[in-house]
Structure 1
Amino acid sequence: MPTQREQQERLDRVNALRARIAEQLAGSLASNPVIAEELHRQIDEHVDSLVAAEGQRPAPPDGGFGGLIGIGPDAALTLGETRVPNGVVRYDDQVNSERIAAVGDLYYIYQHEQIGVFKVVQKLKQLFEAGAVRLSSGQGAYRLYQFDRRDVLRYTRRDRLDGYRRVLGYGRGLGAGQSRPNTDFHRLFGHFVNQVTLFWRDKRISEVMRQGANDPSFGSIAVVRRAGLDLRNNLKFASFGHLNVMRIELMQVLEECFAILGSPDVMELFGADNAWDVIDEILVRYFDERLQTSPRQRMAETGRDVLRWLASGHILESNRPQFEALLNHIAEPAEEWLTSAQAMSLAPRASARSVTPWERSGASGATARRAERGPVSGSRRSTRPVPQRRGDPSARSKRPPGSRR
C-alpha cells in the first residue's frame, strides 16, 4: 500500500510523461492517431504494473488508520506519510461468463417457443393419441410415445413461461418463484445491438469517404463498451437460480422435438421436406397463424451469438485495434438481428448515436414491449357516458329547481 506522497508523485510523473510525448510527437499524432492510442496503452500497462507491485506491499494490521490519526509507533508526522489504498477490484470484472451464456441459450429457446415448436409437437401428440393422423409404428410415432412418457419429468409450460419472464422480461405477470421480472433486458439488448451496428456503419462510411479511416471520431468504442457492460450487469443478477439446468433440459427437449418432426413418417404425413415445413404446415392448418418462422429463427441464432460474445469478456478490452477485431465477430449477427426485429416491430433502429435514458417512455419502446408481451386479455372499459333512463330518480334530483320538464 503506497503512501499519499508516493501516489501523488506517481500521478505527476505519469502526467508529465504524457505531456512530453504529446509535445514531441505532435505532428505524427495528428496524422496517425493510432500511434497515440498505442502510446497511451503502453503507459497504462506500465502504470497498472506499478500499482499491482504497490499492492503487494504488506499493510499494517489496522490498514493504516493508526498512522492517519497519530496513534502508535507508526504514526505519520505529515499527511504525505499516510497510506492510501489504490482501490478495490473493478465491478465489471466480477461476472460469471457461464450464466451469461445460459441466458443466450434461454433466449434461443424463447424464440423457438414463440415460433410454436413446442405447441406443434403437443398438437401432433394429441392427434396421434386420438387416432386422427395416419401414424402407427414408424419412427415418428415411437418418438411421440417416448416424448409423452418423459413429459411428467420435465419442466412444464408454466415453468418455461415463468423463466422467460424472470430472466428476459417477456410475457406477463411475475417471474419464476414470484420474482421480479427483468423488464430492462429487451431495451438494453436492443440498445447494445444498435450501438454495434452504428459503430460498423460509421466504420464502413469512414473507409469509403475519407483517407484517415482510423480516425477515432468514426465509431466510438466507449459507447459500445458502455452499452455492453450495462446489458452484462443487468444479466448478472437475472441469471441466478435454476436457469442453467433448465436451459440444458429445454435444449434437449428442443432437439427431441425436431427429431420427431423430422421423422420420415411425420414428414410424409404432411407432405413436407424437412421439420420446418412440418411446423409451418401444422401452424397454418390447425392454428390458423401467420407464419413468423424465418425472422424469429434468425433472431434466435443471432441473438444467442451476441449474448455468447458478451459472456466471453471481450467487452472489457480497452485497446481499440483489439476491440475492433473482437467486435467484428458479431458485426453481421447484430445487423441481422436488428433487421429481423425491426421488420417485426420488436426493436427500433437508432438513427443517431445517443445514450438511451434509464427510464424511457416512448411509442416505439412501448410497441416493442407490447409485441413481446402478447395480446392484451380483456376489453378496455368504455369512457362514454351511460345514458340515463327516463324516470330515473337520480336524474330528477339533479334537475335545477324551477325548470320545466
Structure 2
Amino acid sequence: MASEKPKKTAQRKAAAPPVAATKRPSRAPRKKPAAAAAAPPPRPRPARVKTQADPSRAGLAAPEAKAQAAAATPQTGATLMNRILFIDLAERDRNRRAEIRVRIANLERIENTKARSGGLGPDLKKELDDLRLELADRDTTDDLYRGVAEQVSGKSWDVLAQSGKTDYVMRYGFMGSQYGVQPNELGVEEKEILAVCGLLLLDGLQGPGNLNFISKVTIARGEFEQNRALFMAAFNRFTTRHAVTLKSQIDKGYVDPEAPGFISGSASTSGAKGMKGQVPDADDLVYAVSANSLAAIVRRIRDEGISPNDPWLVSRMDNAFNLLTGMVEGAPPSALEIMLPDLEEAVDVEIQKENLQASQAIYFAYQLEEMRMFQVVDKIVDLFRGGLLPLGKGTVGDKLFKYFKTSTERITEAERRELYYRMFGAPGGNPSAGDPNRDFNELWLRFVSAVSSFARQISVERLLRNNVPMSVSQEQVRKAARDLGANLSRNGYGIAYFAATELQNTIINFRDILQDPDLRSAFGARDMWQVIDMVNVNYLGGAKNTHRFRTQSRAGAIIIRWISENIQRLANISGPVLSIDEISNPQMRISSGANPTLKPTDWDLVNACEQWLAVMGVQEQSVEHYSQSIEAPAMTSRPIDMPQAARDVLASVGVNLPV
C-alpha cells in the first residue's frame, strides 16, 4: 500500500490543471471536522466466501478429499479449477515411453555385457543417447499428436517444443493451458488439435506413418470447422464431468508414472514419494476426458441432424454419451479397421495365444467372404481384363494387374471354405478335408450372451441401487470364455497361422483397391461399400448386407483378441474376469487410445458383444437362455492323431482317412 500512495499522488498531480490557467486567489485552508479528519473512510473489503460441505462429495476417498482441501485458496476459500486430463492421448504417450524404456534397457544390457557381446556400435550408441533424451523430455512422445499440432500450427514440432510457448505442446495428457498453478480454460487452438486427434483416432488413423496423413488431417480440420459449435458445446459439457485423482489414472495405466511434479517440484515418482509442493500432485483431482469420445459424440449428434441451437442439446449429448459407452442398447457399429494382430507372439499354455490370433484373422476374413468381398474383387479384375472399366494409367490399374498376375499364388475359394469349415463349422467346406468345428456356434453365442447379460445387470444395479443377486456371475463369464478359447485354440493348429498372415495381406490389398478414387469414380460410388454393393447387385446375383458383415468382422475380431490377451484371467480360479469399474464408468474412453482389435479393454469387449448381438438380431429371450452355463463339451488342447494300427484296420474295410 505504501508504494501505491506516491503513484496515486503523481497521477493526481498530472491530472490537475496548470496553475497559470486557473489564477485562483489563495484562500486559507478550511479546517475539517474532527470526525472526518481522524481517519479516511474504510475501503470496502471483498466478502469472504465461506466453504460448505458438499453432500455430493461426502463419499470421497481420503486422497480426493485431501486434494480438494489443498486446492482451496487461503485468501478466499474458493476451490481452484481441476486440470483437464485427456486420458486417451496420455495413454498413447505412456505406451510409447514404456517402449522407449524397454529399448533402453535392452541396449544398456548389451553395453554392460560388452566383454561377451562386443558392446554397442556407433549407431546403437547414438540411438541409446537419442532415446535417453526423448525419455527425459516431458513433451508428449505421441507421433499422432505431434503430427496434428504441426499441421494446425504450421510449424515443425522441434520449433514448437523449443519456442518456450506451450500453446501447441502436450505433456502427459495435459495441454499447455493446464501448466500453471491455476489452470486456464482450453484455448481455441488446443480444442482444434484435440478435436482433430479425436476424429483421426475415431477413423482408425494411428499416426503420420500413414501415406494419407496430411489429407486426413485436412479433412478432419474441415469437419471440425463445419461443426465448431457442436464441438464447443461438447467441450463445455464433458471436460469437467469426471473428477478423479491423478494417482488413480496412473494406477490404471492411463498416465505415465513420471507425470506428478512435471510443472514444479520433482518430475519422478520414484524420488518424490512423500515430497511436498509437487504440481501436479499424485493426489490432485483432475477431470478425465477422451478426445476420441468427444469426436464420437459430435459425429452422432451431427448425423442425427441436431442443431447447436437445439434447446435439448445437453440432454441429447448425454444420451449420445450413454449410447457410446454401452450403457443402453443401440450403440453404433464401428467402422471397418484393417489392422489385424501381431501373429508372432506365442504363450505356452493350454490355450495357445498364437492359435487364437490366427483364428481372429480368419474369422475376420470369413465375414468378409460372406459379404462377397473376395468375389467382388475377382469380378472387378475380370471387368478390367475385358476392358469394361473406364480405367486408364494409374495406381489402381497397377494393383489390378498385379492381382491378376499373382492369381496362382493365392489361396483359392475352395481352400478358404475348407478352412472356415474346419475352424468355425461354416457351410461350404469339403468334409473329406477334415472334421468341422461343430461346437463353435453354440460356444460363441454363449460367451457373447454371458458378457452382454453381465454388463446389463451392472447397468440396472446402478440405476436401482439395489443389492439384487446377479443371475450371471463372473464365473459363468469365465467358463464361457475358457470353453470358447479352448475350442478356437484346438482348431487353430496346422495351416491356420500361415493362412491368417496370407489373408491379412490380401484384405489390406482389397481395401487399397476398393478405396481407390479412380475405381470408385468408375462405379459412381461414394465409398468402398457402395462399390461392393453395386458389383453384388449387377454381377453376383443380388445385394448382401454389408453393414452386418463388416460389423460382425470387427466385433468378432475384438472378442477373439480379448480372449487371447486375457488367458491368465481365464486360467485363474479366483479374481474378477471383467472389471466392473471399467464397464460401468469407462470415463469416455472409446478404444483406450489404441485399436481395440490389438489391445481391447473390458469395455471394448462389452461393446463388441452388444454390436454382434444387435446386427445378428438375437432376441432377448435367446440372450438370457444362452447366458446360462452348461456342461462344457469334451475337447482336447491339441489335435489327437489316430494310431497307425487303427488306420490300417479302417483301410482294410475301405475307409481311407486323410493324412
* TM-score, reference length from structure 2: 0.38
Partner of 1:330: 605
Mapping 1:4-403, distance limit 5 Å: 93-174=349-430, 178-212=433-467, 217=470, 219-312=472-565, 313=567, 314-317=569-572, 318-320=574-576, 323-324=579-580, 325=582, 327-342=602-617, 348-351=622-625, 353-356=627-630
Secondary structure of the structure 1 residue equivalent to 2:351: coil
Q: Indicate the percent of aligned positions where both proteins have the same amino acid.
A: 26
Equivalent-residue separation in structure 1 for 2:393 and 2:453 (angstroms): 54
CA-to-partner distance for each residue in 1:96-132, whole Å, 9 max, x for gaps? 1111111011101100011111110111111111122
Between 136-145 and 197-206, the greater mean CA deviation after superposition = 136-145
8 A contact 1:206–1:218 mirrored in 2: no
CA-to-partner distance for each residue in 1:234-276, whole Å, 9 max, x for gaps? 1121000011111111111111112112222211111112222
8 A contact 2:446–2:628 mirrored in 1: no
Structure scoring higher RCO (CA < 8 A, sep ≥ 6) equals 1
Secondary structure of the structure 1 residue equivalent to 2:383: helix
What are structure 1's unaligned runs of at least 5 residues?
1-91, 360-405
Equivalent-residue separation in structure 1 for 2:578 and 2:540 (angstroms): 49
8 A contact 1:342–1:348 mirrored in 2: no
Equivalent-residue separation in structure 2 for 1:242 and 1:208 (angstroms): 49
Shift of 1:323: 4.5
CA-to-partner distance for each residue in 1:345-391, whole Å, 9 max, x for gaps? 9x9433575224668xxxxxxxxxxxxxxxxxxxxxxxxxxxxxxxx
8 A contact 1:197–1:334 mirrored in 2: yes
1:329–1:273 Cα change, 3 Å: closer
Amino acid of the residue matched to residue 437 of structure 2?
N
Shift of 1:172: 3.4
Equivalent-residue separation in structure 2 for 1:122 and 1:103 (angstroms): 24
Shift of 1:201: 1.1
Amino acid of the residue matched to residue 538 of structure 2?
R
Between 327-336 and 291-300, the greater mean CA deviation after superposition = 327-336
Equivalent-residue separation in structure 1 for 2:530 and 2:397 (angstroms): 18
Equivalent-residue separation in structure 1 for 2:540 and 2:430 (angstroms): 27
Shift of 1:216: 5.7
Shift of 1:320: 2.8
Shift of 1:330: 0.7
Higher helix share: 1
1:234–1:122 Cα change, 3 Å: same
Equivalent-residue separation in structure 2 for 1:300 and 1:250 (angstroms): 13
1:136–1:352 Cα change, 3 Å: closer
Amino acid of the residue matched to residue 629 of structure 2?
V
CA-to-partner distance for each residue in 1:59-78, whole Å, 9 max, x for gaps? xxxxxxxxxxxxxxxxxxxx
8 A contact 1:101–1:307 mirrored in 2: yes
* TM-score, reference length from structure 1: 0.60
Q: How many residues align?
A: 263
1:182–1:295 Cα change, 3 Å: same
Root-mean-square deviation over aligned CA pairs: 2.5
1:322–1:284 Cα change, 3 Å: closer
Secondary structure of the structure 2 residue equivalent to 1:320: coil
